[in-house]
Each structure stands twice: as structure tokens, then as C-alpha cells.
């Protein structure tokens, strides 16, 4: 499968009906998700691997990993409604992906690779949420692919070092977010975000 073909498939994944601002529920653009999945594939972190998508939403990373040869894929999210939607989409399309309603603090299963777009931690109720996702990743996985606001990367680097991990790859993207919540003042905004490939040395 070519990257453009995967992007077209991922564009069909349903979005959020009623996104939660406290959970910072934003759909990862299909083009960015497809690019990240192909990067992980080229690093040999997907094919025949156990892959988790933490904070999976409707499952764009989980579904992409399944379509590119992962041995087992599990998506986790605390939002029951969104997990039900992801399960329904996977069932209708005969996709081999398991979706579980679970808070990240309760995940004890282990995997080879994590693909995730965690909350940016921009809301007061969700400050440092992105770092909680990374901490969990260090406990359960060998490799983490994770997206963060570029302006926070220096803090993430220090955190990874303190956890005895290593960042082996960086890539920058422009992440567009459409007007989703009543406090949004513009039709859409663009954020500078950075993908990190983290080796946990687990």
C-alpha cells in the first residue's frame, strides 16, 4: 500500500460528534497520520509488531497500523462513545483492531510500539496530560511515536532524558484544527507540532 492510498482510507474514518474540550479531542489529519505510520513502518516498528494507540479517538493510528501489517493492534480511550464509534467502524470494514475503553493509568498490557497524538495539555484541566502519556509509554512499550506542540519539545527532551530514554527521530508538521468548541474564535488555527520517535530502552 502506498502512503497516498493509506491517506485516502484514513480520511474516511469518522470524526467526533461532540468533542470534549477537557479531553482535547482533535482528529489527527489523515495526511499527517499516514506519514507517521509510514515512518514507523520504515523503522520496522509496525510490520509483525504489537502496536497500541493511546488516546485513540476514532482510531486513525490503530487502523493505519493494522492496514500496514501489524501483528496485533489495540486502541485505548477513556471516552466510551468514541470507542463505540471506533468499534463500529472497524466491524463494518472488517478491520482487525481491538478497541478498549480504558484510562491510560489503567493500561498494564505491553507492546512493541505506541503510536499516539496525546492531548497537548493546553487546557487548564489537562495540564501536563501529554507527559502522563509519555510516562505510560515508557512503562509498557519499547518505541513511542508521539506528537507534541513544537514549543514544548525542550521540556519533553528533558523528561525523556530523565527517564533514561532516547529521542532518535524528529519531524515537524503544521497541524490544522477546525473550529470545534465555543471558545474558539477562528474557523481554524494552525499549530506547529513535532513528531518524536522515542526509544524507551525497556
Residue 142 belongs to a domain with what CATH number?
A: 3.40.50.150
User: How far apart, in whole angstroms, are the C-alpha atoms of residue 49 and residue 42?
Assistant: 13
User: How far apart, in whole angstroms, are the C-alpha atoms of residue 102 and residue 78?
Assistant: 5
Range of the domain at 77: 3-199
**Per-residue pLDDT, 186:** 55
H or E element in which residue 176 lies: strand 166-178
Cβ distance 81 to 131 under 8 Å?
A: no
HSE-up of 37 (CA within 13 Å, CB side)? 33
**Per-residue pLDDT, 125:** 47
Q: How far is CA 9 from CA 5, 52, 194, in A?
A: 6, 19, 24
**Per-residue pLDDT, 15:** 81
The grid coordinates listed for 98 are 481491538
Q: How far is CA 170 from CA 31, 34, 95, 196, in A?
A: 17, 16, 30, 5
Condensed to tens digits (0 to 9), the pLDDT of residues 51-92 reads 999 999 999 999 999 999 999 999 999 999 999 999 999 999
> Which residues have a Cβ under 8 Å from the Cβ of 96 and sit 6 or more positions away?
66, 73
Neighbours of 35 (CB within 10 A): 17
User: How far apart, in whole angstroms, are the C-alpha atoms of residue 8 and residue 49?
Assistant: 24
Count structural domains, the chain.
1
pTM of the shown model: 0.90
The grid coordinates listed for 11 are 480520511
- For β-strands 98-101 and 188-199, DSSP reports them as unpaired
Q: Which residue ranges of the chain lie beneath pLDDT 50?
A: 123-125, 181, 183-184
**Per-residue pLDDT, 167:** 98
Amino acid at each position: 500500500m502506498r502512503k497516498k492510498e493509506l491517506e485516502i482510507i484514513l480520511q474516511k474514518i469518522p470524526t467526533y460528534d461532540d468533542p470534549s474540550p477537557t479531553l482535547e479531542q482533535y482528529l489527527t489529519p489523515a495526511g499527517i497520520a499516514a506519514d507517521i505510520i509510514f515512518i514507523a513502518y520504515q523503522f520496522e516498528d509496525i510490520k509483525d509488531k504489537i502496536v497500541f494507540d493511546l488516546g485513540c479517538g476514532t482510531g486513525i493510528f490503530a487502523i493505519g497500523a493494522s492496514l500496514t501489517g501489524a501483528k496485533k493492534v489495540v486502541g485505548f480511550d477513556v471516552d466510551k462513545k468514541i470507542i463505540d464509534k471506533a468499534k463500529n467502524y472497524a466491524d463494518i470494514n472488517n478491520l482487525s483492531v481491538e478497541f478498549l475503553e480504558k484510562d491510560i493509568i489503567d493500561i498494564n498490557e505491553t507492546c512493541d510500539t505506541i503510536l499516539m497524538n496525546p492531548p497537548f495539555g493546553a487546557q487548564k484541566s489537562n495540564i501536563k496530560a501529554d507527559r502522563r502519556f509519555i510516562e505510560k509509554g515508557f512503562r509498557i512499550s519499547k518505541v513511542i511515536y508521539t506528537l507534541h506542540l513544537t514549543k514544548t519539545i525542550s521540556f519533553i527532551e528533558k523528561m525523556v532524558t530523565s527517564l533514561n530514554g532516547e529521542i532518535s527521530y524528529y519531524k515537524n508538521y503544521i497541524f490544522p484544527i477546525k473550529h470545534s468548541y465555543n471558545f474558539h474564535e477562528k474557523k481554524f488555527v494552525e499549530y506547529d507540532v513535532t513528531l518524536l520517535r522515542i526509544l524507551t530502552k525497556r
